[in-house]
């Protein structure tokens, strides 16, 4: 159905590339006005241009999601610009520098948790405030298959943050279920984006990662974006507190 999000406003964090950019384009395709948040201005402006080329409406607001003042300013600007907030994809994330748990610095730990976990909570807090006033909305938090399983690739802070997002999603979903706000998570398998390039640049690691997906390939950002749009749509009106895998069978094994 085309334009089912006409008159709606969607916020996407981490919209400069990968899954966030694909999701922003998908929201715009469905007719929503889209607010894009990330740190690099030029990339943000490029995504706005991509959306405008398809006759969509978008605004980029430079934001570091780990900074509470910047997140408050983001939500304020969203409401000032478009008057409301219907959907939010809390997607900004980083893998950090890979290192075994005992060799990771405190600074690195704080940086990964600060963006991936605290950043999601800071956004959630401001989004819920607007949606409560409006009488409803739908929020999607970006977890991972590494929110359900571990890995020996040296990503313990990342794995911890993605597991925590699932817990945060369940708790917040229960707290706001009675107020018309649905809150879900998505757990993608390995998706072809800049995030996994350091790993997939090594052909052996790339083959191992492909082999871990029974479908026989890595995922595309657009395949995750479709799940985001579905979770936000009325088609998912009875779905909340759920973590949806989009993983080519990775976690079914």
Footprint of ligand NDP on 132-191 (CB under 6 A):
142, 144, 188, 190-191
Tell me how many residues contact ligand NDP (CB under 6 A). 31
Beta bridge partners of 58: 34
Q: From the candidates 158, 176, 190, 250, which is the catalytic residue?
A: 158
> Near ligand NDP by CB under 6 A, which window of 49-57, 91-99, 124-132, 232-240?
91-99
Binding status of residue 115 toward ligand NDP by CB under 6 A: yes
Q: Reduce the DSSP state of residue 105 to 3 states and report it.
A: coil
Beta bridge partners of 186: 142, 244
Least distance in angstroms from the C-beta of 186 to ligand NDP = 8
CA distance 27 to 232: 10
Binding status of residue 40 toward ligand NDP by CB under 6 A: yes
If you search the block for the tokens 């993608």, which residue do you land on?
A: 188
Least distance in angstroms from the C-beta of 19 to ligand NDP = 4
Beta bridge partners of 140: 89, 184
CA distance 171 to 81: 30
Give Cα separations from 92 to 100, 101, 112, 118, 122 (angstroms).
23, 23, 11, 11, 12
If you search the block for the tokens 């597991």, which residue do you land on?
A: 163
Binding status of residue 96 toward ligand NDP by CB under 6 A: no
Least distance in angstroms from the C-beta of 164 to ligand NDP = 12
Which of 61, 65, 88, 123 is the binder for ligand NDP (CB under 6 A)? 65
Which of 33, 51, 88, 93 is the binder for ligand NDP (CB under 6 A)? 93
Binding status of residue 248 toward ligand NDP by CB under 6 A: no
User: CB within 8 A of 175, min separation 6: which ones?
Assistant: none
CA distance 252 to 247: 9
- 158 an active-site residue? yes
Least distance in angstroms from the C-beta of 94 to ligand NDP = 5
Residues forming the active site = 158
């Amino acid at each position: 159905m085309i334009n089912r999000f006409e008159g709606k406003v969607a916020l996407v964090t981490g919209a400069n590339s990968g899954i966030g950019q694909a999701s922003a384009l998908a929201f715009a395709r469905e007719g929503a006005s889209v607010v894009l948040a990330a740190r690099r201005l030029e990339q943000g402006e490029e995504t706005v241009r991509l959306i405008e080329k398809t006759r969509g409406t978008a605004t980029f607001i430079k934001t570091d999601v780990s900074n509470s003042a910047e997140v408050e300013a983001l939500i304020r600007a969203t409401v000032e610009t478009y008057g409301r907030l219907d959907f939010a994809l809390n997607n900004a994330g980083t893998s950090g520098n890979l290192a075994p748990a005992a060799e990771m610095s405190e600074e690195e730990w704080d940086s990964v948790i600060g963006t991936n976990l605290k950043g999601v909570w800071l956004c959630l807090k401001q989004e819920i405030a607007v949606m409560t006033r409006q009488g409803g909305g739908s929020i999607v938090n970006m977890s991972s298959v590494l929110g359900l399983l571990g890995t020996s690739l040296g990503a313990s802070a990342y794995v911890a943050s993605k597991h925590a997002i699932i817990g945060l999603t369940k708790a917040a979903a229960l707290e706001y279920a009675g107020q018309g706000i649905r809150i879900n998570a998505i757990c993608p398998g390995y998706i072809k984006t800049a995030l996994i390039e350091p790993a997939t640049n090594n052909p052996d690691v790339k083959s191992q990662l492909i082999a871990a997906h029974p479908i026989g390939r890595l995922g595309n950002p657009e395949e995750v974006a479709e799940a985001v749009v579905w979770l936000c749509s009325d088609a998912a009106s009875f779905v909340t507190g759920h973590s949806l895998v989009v993983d080519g069978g990775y976690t079914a094994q």
